[in-house]
Amino acid sequence: MIESTLTALAVFLLLPLAGYSLYAKLFRRNTVRVVVSRGVMYRSITLLSVGAYFIALGLISGGLKHFEVSFARSITIFFAFAGAIALTALFLSERLRRRVKVFINKHFYEQKHDYRRTWMALTGRLASCTTLSDMENAILEMFRETFGLRGVSLYLYNRRSGVYAPAIDHSLPRAEAGLRLSAGLLGYFRDRDRVWNPLDKEYVPDDAEASFVSSAGARLVIPLVSGREVEGVVVFGERMAREPFTYEDYDLMKIMARQSALLLSNQRLTEELVETRELAAVARVSSFVIHDLKNLTQTLSLIMDNADEHIGNPDFQRDMLASVKQTVGNMKHLMQKLNAIPGTGKPNLVRYDIRLLTTTVVGELAKTRPGKRVVCLGTTAPCMVDTAEMSKVIVNLVQNGLDATEEAGMVKAETGANDGRVFLRISDTGCGMNGDFVLRQVFKLFRTTKGEGLGVGLYQCRQIVESMGGTIEVKSEVGKGSEFTVYLPAVRQDA
């Protein structure tokens, strides 16, 4: 019973191979070429191995029964378990599987590698990576699996030190000193598009490169070239199956290396872009802080300039103390807001008369600029406004007008309401700005016409005004002055 069952199972496993052989022979007579994929061939080898196991087990059982061995059943069970264990160990042996693949590719196929399958596996695995570490692991795993390596490692270029430093390794010793490419080896990689085999003597390394080969256990060094940059090198250790590399292997290595280098380069550039944006954000915050500090220190500086002449005047003393007290309060408020860019947070809106706010701010500012003419006009205009932030807008616009105006010039602040909107208009009779600057750059960050300006104030003004639901417009003409108009949603006086 056992023998017949085993024989039937073996025949069942061998039927697909026999069917394929018959099918191939019939079609080959009609000049039709039939090619079995490597996957099907590998599975067929597995089925053959299992079929051979059952046939051998059947023969052992039949032979023992034929010779009437008294403990035939026990011996059959022993060989069944021993054979199953041996077969499982062979299937799990990566080295044996690699040797079988090499044998099949060498004797049954024209091309050594399944390029389509390898390319799809490489691009699919790399596309699923989200971090640089994942990408490095995926690259090494693809090289290790494709070429049957015992060990492989990756060295990436460090732009600060100029050395290819160890990034990750799989079962290879790590050369902590890294690899510094000489001009000769760099040209060998980049200009000649070669893979470095330390044993073939085609390239003669210098002492440092020879030391790297020894400490890294390198059998091959494959450059990851993107454009004219060598992003890194992949170091091969020994292979599981002892077979020499052929031109097909080298071509596939180069293809995989180029794709890997391109993605590594993109990942590096992405990380550099993120870092640059973070630095730009810090610089932007710093620029706002410096700009506000400049305005505050300018107020204190003007007080000190006038103190020598007016320090004995009681009115000046009271104004000076009030201005210093207000400046200190503004500095404390500024320090509390260092973690946010002014104008980008949610404003604290309250109902307030824009005329009253403008008159107060301009009056305080005028005390520090006694030689300048500042005029406030207009009517009551209630609106929802963040008084602290709007005060910064008024200070910026008025101070810009004063800086642009000669001693005999004038700055005018006018408030009112029109078409459901409150407006604040700051105009001066100063030097003005050209049309191209007004059209394209006046509200951009770090753009200024002042020699010592930071190019932050007007950008900050627009951010603040827009955060409160308003808009800001500008008119200017060279030699005639500028006019900035802030529009905010109006609030009814009986509301």
Model confidence at 3: pLDDT above 80? no
Contact indicator for 185, 196 with CB cutoff of 8 Å:
yes
Q: Which of 65-69, 172-176, 220-224, 480-484 has the lowest mean pLDDT?
A: 65-69
Q: What is the pLDDT of residues 176-220, one digit of tens each?
A: 889 999 999 999 999 888 999 998 888 999 999 999 999 999 999
Structure tokens at 218: 């390198």
Determine the pLDDT at residue 482: 92
Whether pLDDT at 87 is above 90:
no
pLDDT score, position 284? 67
Lowest average pLDDT, out of 202-211, 249-258, 284-293, goes to 284-293
Structural domains of the chain ordered from first start: 2-92 (no CATH), 115-271 (3.30.450.40), 342-489 (3.30.565.10)
Looking at residue 261, its pLDDT comes to: 92
pLDDT at 329 over 60: yes
**Percentage with pLDDT > 70 across the chain:** 77
Per-residue model confidence (pLDDT) at position 81: 78
Q: What pLDDT score does 42 carry?
A: 57
Residue 7 in tokens: 């024989």
353, pLDDT greater than 90: yes
105 pLDDT exceeds 50? yes
Give the model's pLDDT for residue 86.
Answer: 76
Q: What is the pLDDT of residue 195?
A: 93
How far is it, in rounded angstroms, from Cα 373 to Cα 427? 12
Could you tell me which residue, 372 or 6, shows the higher pLDDT? Answer: 372
Per-residue pLDDT of 469-488, as tens digits, reads 899 999 998 988 999 999 99
pLDDT over 50 (residue 32): no
> How many Cα atoms within 13 Å fall on the side-chain side of residue 301?
6
Q: How many helices and strands (H and E) does the chain possess?
A: 14, 11
Q: For residue 99, is pLDDT > 90?
A: no
What six digits make up the tokens of 73?
Answer: 């059943």
Residue 60 pLDDT > 60, yes or no?
yes
CA triplet 464, 411, 349: central angle to 5 degrees?
A: 25
Give the range among 34-43, 73-82, 187-196 with minimum mean pLDDT: 34-43
358 pLDDT band, cuts 50/70/90, is: very high
pLDDT higher than threshold 70 for residue 422? yes
pLDDT tens column, 432-477 = 888 888 877 888 777 777 766 667 788 888 889 999 989 999 999 8
Letter for the amino acid at 171? S
Q: Name the token pair of 248.
A: 């097909």
234 pLDDT tier (thresholds 50, 70, 90): very high
For range 94-116, the mean pLDDT: 61
pLDDT at 56: 79
pLDDT of 35 strictly over 70: no
Residue 28 burial (C-beta neighbours within 10 Å; 0-12, 13-18, 19+):
exposed
- The string of pLDDT tens digits covering residues 5-22 is 545 555 555 555 555 555
What b/e readout covers 10-25, taking b as 16+ CB neighbours within 10 angstroms? beebbeeeeeeeeeee
As a whole number, the mean pLDDT across the chain is 79
The H or E element spanning position 170 is strand 163-170
Amino acid 394 reads I
Task: Supply the pLDDT for residue 66.
Answer: 72
